[in-house]
Chains A and B, each alone.
Chain A
């Protein structure tokens, strides 16, 4: 397979930029934090200033430090949950789609059951029975979230596998006697890559939401700093009603920005999978430059050649 060439639309670039920014923050955030996020050594309820960029909490903690430190815990849980859920959905989806028959019936039933049970109430019930040690452990929380988040990916991957399983190249390796496992892992799985990437992004997005929600409700350890516990403490101290926006707005905006970044990247993958969307996502300038009509015309799928668009862009500058 040739190298995957993602569409370079502004949407995708902005998305990738946002995700990269938060990825860097995950790694360096705790080192950049100017103060200990739990230290209560400052005056309470300070407005944002040069000493405290985002002010302080009602307990006199530096909010900017909490935001930086909290990035890591939030992202670790999301990544653990995203990766585990994706592994689960590939295993179930590919096995169901390729093996078919009884196996398919059983696995599909399982994923449909998990899809039908509303995720958050199930998470809350499981989490409320966790002992305190489990609630403060990012990996345990990540695993539980992955349990409620794998089913959608499995369904999409199963459908894609079924459309691949009778293609000639799969048939060919079956005839030369490759094992089933090898066919699934090395013939089918690589062709699922775009769908897989899209499902990974979505699961990470879901996991961030789920984790932050659990923390906001108070179902994770309130001693672990993440963006959800920040919101929990802000709510517990009535920050919204006291109009202390610098306390509860930053974590919420961070969650929304990373989520937007992931979703925008996903648009790129959608456009990669479905060429019709790709041409619809082109901006007016690129469209003119590649010789396409300004308004998309009915009845045909325009093909915008990346080289033509790039040459035109260079020419325009």
Chain B
């Protein structure tokens, strides 16, 4: 339990740092950002917008920084993330409609990529030195391609040219969203290409990590013992793989942040209605309250995902459950 407690306190501190950074950044801006922003919005500035901007930058409140900070936390606990400048609706309601898309897309891709990469890595490790090794440079290449570039190429080749997958959006415009098969089918079809893109970009990391651990593990005595006992090869591989997978699982929580960073841009390429798309629109429009709200929600979601990954590790590795382990 100590390990979980330590991780939990780490994530709490991280959340605090992220929230504080979020609070301080706009207040550290030089000059008068409010005037600049209002200048850019010429002709269509409503009093509500001015108020939203002033709130976002902490100007016109006539409070010292500390009182503002307390007020910021107070609003945060009420679920109030400010008002979007361009959309003139609360940031929290904009986010509520975007978050499920992103969580679904990235969640499915990460799980698929982890399972696929670990399985392939175990085989690559066992059959090291064989022709299978030629997969490694190819996988490395895919790992080095930026997610969004791979997405663009996939979109063109498989979506626009070959018409193998529907593109742009999360579901067909001709079906109404709801819990019925037509919609779910459309959801899966539209999700295929983005998921394949994210899996292709992220699978190599799992694969290579697992291969290296597998090679190290194979030299251990217990694997030799299993072979000597005459266990079938499939069982020996499973035996070694079960032990080799632990570092991968331990790294799962760290890798989630990386995958999220890349996947946000895949949404832009495929015009997926998630948080990544929203973030980039907000950046283009200089909609600061929205940018900050999105950053906060992404960070907190990643932290929750990290904690889940840690719990998974805790369940899998009995050594983390003893008091001696840190």
A contacts, CB < 8 Å to B: 11, 14, 109, 112-113, 115-122, 124-126, 128-129, 131, 152, 205, 209, 212-213, 216-219, 231, 235, 240-241, 243, 245, 248-249, 252, 255-260, 262-264, 267, 270, 274, 276-277, 280-282, 284, 287, 295-296, 298-301
Contacts and interface: CB of A to CB of B under 8 A. Distances in A.
Given A14-B137, A280-B128, 12 more contacts: A115-B254, A117-B257, A119-B257, A122-B299, A216-B148, A240-B155, A240-B156, A241-B160, A263-B144, A277-B216, A298-B219, A299-B219
Contacts of B262: 120
A125 B148 contact: no
B82 to A, nearest CB: 14
A300 B219 contact: yes
A129 B26 contact: yes
A198 B144 CA distance: 16
A255 to B, nearest CB: 6
Top 5 nearest A-B pairs (CB, nearest first) are A259-B144, A120-B261, A252-B149, A299-B224, A280-B128
Per DSSP, are chain A's interface residues mostly helix, strand or loop, or mixed? helix
Nearest to B30: A131
Contact of A11 (B11, B129, B137): B137
Interface in B1-44: 10-11, 13-14, 17-18, 21-22, 25-26, 28-31
Contacts of A287: 129
A205 to B, nearest CB: 7
Given A118-B261, A243-B156, A212 B146 contact: yes
A317 B20 CA distance: 65
Contact of A118 (B31, B257, B265): B257
Given A287-B129, A298-B218, A259 B260 contact: no
Nearest to B292: A125
A151 B288 CA distance: 27
Contacts of A235: 152
A115 B14 CA distance: 9
B141 to A, nearest CB: 5
Contacts of A212: 146
A109 B261 contact: no
Given A121-B294, A213-B146, A256 B141 contact: yes
Contacts of A115: 254, 257
B144 A116 contact: no
A121 B283 contact: no
B111 interface: no
B44 to A, nearest CB: 21
A169 to B, nearest CB: 26
Interface in B120-152: 128-130, 133, 136-137, 140-141, 143-146, 148-149, 152
B303 interface: yes
B306 interface: yes
Nearest to B301: A118
B241 interface: no
